[in-house]
Copies of this chain bind each other. A is one copy, B any other.
């Protein structure tokens, strides 16, 4: 290792500073994509990046690219970054950490007078969370060619405001074309959003890929009936179907241990009255696995379970897939650089598969990519209580710095 280290308190201060924009009473952040708070956050971070000598460009869906030039003006950029939008009740670290760790990499290179062969950049991807506009990871997805730009711009929030109009309103509809920018590599630092690193007291997660995902809407249909007069055997209780499927989803995910996931997060009962047997229940199912064949097997088991429960209880159940992501394997070379950096610092680490979606997963479709996870308190994220320890925040940024530097190459002479 080169001996370069980030300035931990400068990085921490930038995180706490940015977290004042949209700060909530419980210590979280509420900063939805393309709101004025998002504009303020973009302005502030872009200002810091300009102050660190970067040129800042904005593309047609609002993705921001801050570039620190390399010695080789023609080389593709070694990019890092993440997002500054948050969930409605989000935390200080999700996304913001990846962006500000990137800023800290630039500032550390500047402070040490290190020039790189290739340019080094920091990206702020638009609307990663998908809370205000679908789809999630819309900015990085458009960059990677997953979504047409027109589709992204036409999406509307719950009040009918178009993404494109909101983007113009905050002044972030840029002139740079979306996508097509050659990347040498992409690294993204992020809190784990799960409990594994914390439980095993590992400082760094070497993220080797991401779980494939399928989302379903399930509609159970039975018969509303009065809770008093209707004998138990005469019932067609849609909520019993849902309850049985909740347990079946848990059991099937366990059969695909340790990486299978199965979750029912959303459920809505009709008529939802205390003395009426529910005639209809709508519920979501979320299945994830790092292996696409295993995920297909989980899909088959879900359909079989729903069918068997429906038949046994005299219900109808419609299972409709509403979204899917293929699993993702990050670039072995990039993961190797993350591993080497963690080893050089002596940080306890392990390989880990991301269960959540991240901008890196889309960027990985157009560039070699990897991610660096750090622990978060109790694995909690998408929550105002989201928290990370300063020493982990520092460690992740140090690993990012050295992975980026290994890829970008030191220029022979100091500038």
A194 (CB) vs chain B CBs: closest residue: B229
- A243 CB to closest chain B CB (Å) equals 4
- Once A239-B246, A240-B246, A243-B242 are accepted as A-B contacts, the answer to whether A228 and B357 lie under 8 Å apart by CB is yes
A197 to chain B, nearest CB (A): 10
- In the complex, whether A278 has a CB less than 8 A from a CB of chain B is yes
- If A226-B355, A227-B288 touch, whether A266 touches B261 (CB-CB below 8 Å) is no
Question: Which residues on the B side are within 8 Å of A233 (C-beta)?
Answer: 254
Chain A, 221-258, CB within 8 A of any chain B CB: 223-234, 237, 239-240, 242-244, 246-247, 250, 253-254, 257-258
Q: Is the CB of B267 within 8 A of A272?
A: yes
Q: Which residues of B contact A193 (CB under 8 A)?
A: 226, 228-229
In the complex, whether A406 has a CB less than 8 A from a CB of chain B is no
Q: Is A85 among interface residues, defined by CB-CB distance under 8 A?
A: no
Q: How far is the CB of A6 from chain B (nearest CB, A)?
A: 25
A269 at the interface (CB under 8 A from B): yes
Interface residues of A toward B: which range?
Answer: 35 or more
On whether A228 and B196 interact (CB within 8 A), knowing A265-B275, A274-B284, the answer reads no
Contacts of A250 in B (CB 8 A): 232, 237, 240
Provided the pairs A243-B246, A246-B239 are in contact, do residues A261 and B228 lie with their beta carbons within 8 angstroms? yes
Query: Which residues of B lie under 8 Å from residue A2 when comparing CB positions?
Result: none
Question: What separation, in Å, do the CA atoms of A278 and B272 have in the docked complex?
Answer: 18
Tell me whether A122 is interfacial, beta carbon within 8 Å. Answer: no
Known: A240-B247, A243-B246, A382-B276. A229 touches B267 (CB 8 A): no
Assembled-state Cα–Cα distance A320/B265 (Å): 25
Chain B residues with CB below 8 A from A213, complex form: 228
* Contact yes or no, B228 A355, CB < 8 A: yes
Bound form: Cα–Cα A371–B56 in Å: 81
Contact B272 A269 (CB under 8 A): no
Question: Contacts of A269 on B, CB cut-off 8 Å?
Answer: 265-267
- Closest Cβ–Cβ distance, residue A255 to chain B (whole Å): 10
Q: For A194, A228, A231, A272, which residue has the most chain B Cβ atoms within 10 angstroms? A: A228
User: Within A168-221, which residues are at the interface with B (CB < 8 Å)?
Assistant: 192-196, 199, 211, 213, 215
Q: Is there a chain B Cβ closer than 8 Å to A146's Cβ?
A: no
Chain B residues positioned under 8 Å from A265 (CB to CB): 227, 239, 269, 272-278
Q: Given the complex, which residues of B lie within 8 Å of A356, measured CB to CB?
A: 226, 228-229, 275
A262 at the interface (CB under 8 A from B): yes
What are 6 inter-chain pairs, A to B, with CB distance below 8 A? A213-B228, A231-B258, A232-B254, A234-B379, A242-B243, A265-B278
Which residues of A are interface residues toward B (Cβ below 8 A)? Answer: 89, 192-196, 199, 211, 213, 215, 223-234, 237, 239-240, 242-244, 246-247, 250, 253-254, 257-258, 260-269, 271-278, 284, 286, 288, 354-357, 378-383
Apart from A237-B250, A237-B263: 11 A-B pairs, beta carbons within 8 A: A193-B228, A199-B234, A227-B288, A229-B355, A232-B250, A232-B261, A232-B262, A240-B250, A244-B247, A274-B284, A274-B286
